[in-house]
Amino acid sequence: MRKILFLGISIVLLFAQALGDQVTLKNGDRMSGTIEKSDGKMLVLHTDYAGDVTLKWDAVQSIQTSEQLHVELQNGKTAVGPVTTSDDKLKIATRSGGVEVAKSDVKTLRNDAEQETYEKTLHPGLLQGWKTGLNVGFALTGGNSETTNLAIGFLAARQTLDDKLGLYANSVYAKNRAAGAVPSTTANTAGGGARYDHDLTKKVFGFVAADFFADELQTLNLRSVFGGGVGYHAIKNENTTLDFLGGLNYTRENYDLFNRNLVALTLGQELLHKLGKSTTLNGKLYFFPDLNSASDYRGTFDFGTVTKLNKVLGWQLTFSDVYVTNPPPLKRQNDVIFTTGLNVTIGQ
């Protein structure tokens, strides 16, 4: 009798595995395949006949899996095991017994392969998880005018669940090549830096940063700024991030005629917003009051957009304004830069 019962169970299990996972929709349709994942809104089922099929989670009446799923609940707990549904509830056959939850309590579903991929994103290596882009703009004229203009920008960001590392570099060069033109070089700036953010709570984060900037026409050989402080996520969702930052920085400036060191406050605001599916807007406003001299300060404003043309190429517009209250003699307080050109996504 036991042999017959064991044989019957084995046949049922083999039959279930042959069918794979079963998904029944509320309209009565049934589909077989392998459930890969669900984010609580959509469910991805891999089929042999149609590849990956995406189904609305609300349209799913029932599921039955032959392999285990990693079920993450809204309360943060996770249950692992084969899943069946009944009366709008999920039953997870865990090793320690069984767990029954309401379908509405499910936050995510992942099979073993998707769970392994997800866990790698939680603690990526230093060389993993980077999103990088290169902006290039070039113009050349001849005839009545003889000019050369080149603008290059680089951005890279690596973000995990609780921290973010960002790198940037940019350069603008312009030259009037006409005979006897004074000045022959009309723009020559270069900058770069890095910032590391670490979340202290869901809303509050700490940051450290280093920035470097040079401007030939302002006789600024190098401005080095090292700082840190705290920030606040006023808005943080899929489409919009609005941060306010405050802290201290140490600045060293090397001009042709003099050097100076100063300690200043760091007060800033950063906005990142997605306009539709293809355009991203990025704005930064910073104010650096000099603690050594109440009347002196430096301010920076950066605004840019990137519009995707396809998965690799995009078109970018950037506007930057750097203001200092006490530049070298005969030099202007404001430097304004506007660039436009091609944006190339070189890694993700």
Distance between CA atoms of 233 and 307, rounded to whole angstroms?
A: 25
Distance between CA atoms of 339 and 151, rounded to whole angstroms?
A: 7
- Distances in whole angstroms, Cα of residue 222 to Cα of each of 189, 190, 216, 218, 251: 10, 9, 9, 11, 10
pLDDT at 112 over 80: yes
Largest pairwise CA distance in the chain: 106
pLDDT at 212: 96
Distance between CA atoms of 80 and 90, rounded to whole angstroms?
A: 12
pLDDT at 227 over 50: yes
316, 341 in Cβ contact below 8 A? yes
Question: What are the pLDDT digits (tens) for 185-199?
Answer: 888 999 999 999 999
The one-character DSSP state at 1 is -
> Helix, strand, coil shares of the chain as percentages rounded to 5?
10, 65, 25
Please give the average per-residue pLDDT across 197-226, as a whole number: 94
pLDDT at 24 over 80: yes
**Segments making up each domain of the chain, as ranges:** 2-122, 130-347
pLDDT at 19: 57
pLDDT at 176 over 70: yes
What is the pTM (predicted TM-score) of this model?
0.68
Token pair 């990025």 is found at 282
Higher pLDDT, 113 or 120: 113
143 three-state secondary structure: coil
Element (H, E) at 134: strand 130-141
Q: Please report, rounded to a whole number, the percentage of residues in the chain having pLDDT higher than 70.
A: 93
pLDDT at 347: 59
Fold of 130-347: Porin (2.40.160)
43, 60 in Cβ contact below 8 A? yes
Tokens standing for residue 264? 């200043």
The confidence band for 300, taking pLDDT boundaries of 50, 70 and 90, is: very high
107 three-state secondary structure: strand
Residues present in the chain in total: 348
Tokens standing for residue 1? 């009798």
Mean pLDDT of the chain: 86
Please give the average per-residue pLDDT across 211-219, as a whole number: 92
Burial of 335 (0-12, 13-18, 19+ CB in 10 A): buried
| Residue 183 preceded by cis peptide, ω within 30 | yes
Among the ranges given (40-44, 59-63, 179-183, 315-319), the one the predictor scored with the smallest mean pLDDT: 179-183
pLDDT at 16: 43
222: CB partners within 8 A, 6+ apart: 212, 213, 214, 253, 254
pLDDT at 4 over 70: no
β-bridge pairing 42-47 and 30-38? antiparallel
Please give the average per-residue pLDDT across 31-44, as a whole number: 90
